[in-house]
Amino acid sequence: MIIMKNPNTQMAIGPFVRQMLGPLERPVSELYRGMFVDLTSLARKIKERIPAANILEVGCGEGTVTERLARAYANARVTGIDITPRIGRMFRGDLKRVSFKQETIKDFAKKNNSIFDLVVISDVMHHVAPRIHKEFLNDARKALKPGGYLVLKDWERSPMPIHALCYLLDRYITQDRVQYRTAAEFRDIINAVFGAGHINHEARVRPWSNNIVFFIRV
């Protein structure tokens, strides 16, 4: 779940409520995210399969996944990019090896071509207009070294009641026009961008099977 993805949106419900929480903002935010996805488990699954010294997180938001990646990869350099002005504000960790940049992936990849071992895109795609999904993934791929990995995690569309709740909260808390895909639709897009056979592994992340992760080797 990404709390804020559209910088042109007027103050969305989520950030407004969280500002009112004061010192309780971080624990309440963690509790809210934990209802839908175990981010520590996600970072652990990535670390178990992919060695990396230089990591890029695209659409890092306020830094919650970035924080888990930095913990899991204790000796790696981690860069988080996003278009939100609130980038990295919830991150707690070593800023000597973790940095944040307010930038689009297209602009960032032009200046940082083929330098990352691992690119992570977590719960971002449903905030990105479907018509540019292929372009978005292709731009992210440009930042990877040959043989590197792109890990794509998102919430899969399903008829389950939890999906309806996820949609309502994401739609009205962020005020983004979120659109979710099925696993098969994601595979089609990945194959169109990277070519058939580049999905190295697929996984699910607790507590809901809607949390799907694709490990893509370039």
Please report, for the domain that includes residue 79, its CATH number.
3.40.50.150
What pLDDT, on the 0 to 100 scale, is given for residue 10? 44
In-domain check, residue 184: yes
- Interatomic CA distance for residues 76 and 60, integer angstroms: 17
Mean pLDDT by groups of 10 residues along the chain of 218 residues: 39 57 79 94 98 98 97 98 94 96 98 98 96 98 98 98 94 85 98 97 98 98
Residue 19: give the domain boundaries: 13-217
What pLDDT, on the 0 to 100 scale, is given for residue 13? 52
- The structure tokens listed for 20 are 């009112």
What pLDDT, on the 0 to 100 scale, is given for residue 174? 74
In-domain check, residue 2: no
What pLDDT, on the 0 to 100 scale, is given for residue 173? 75
Q: Check if the beta carbon of residue 151 is closer than 8 Å to that of residue 46.
A: yes
In-domain check, residue 123: yes
In-domain check, residue 141: yes
In-domain check, residue 168: yes
What's the total number of domains in the chain? 1
In-domain check, residue 6: no
In-domain check, residue 179: yes
What pLDDT, on the 0 to 100 scale, is given for residue 130? 96
pTM: 0.90
In-domain check, residue 133: yes
Residue 187 makes CB contacts below 8 A (sequence gap 6+) with 199, 214
What pLDDT, on the 0 to 100 scale, is given for residue 19? 63
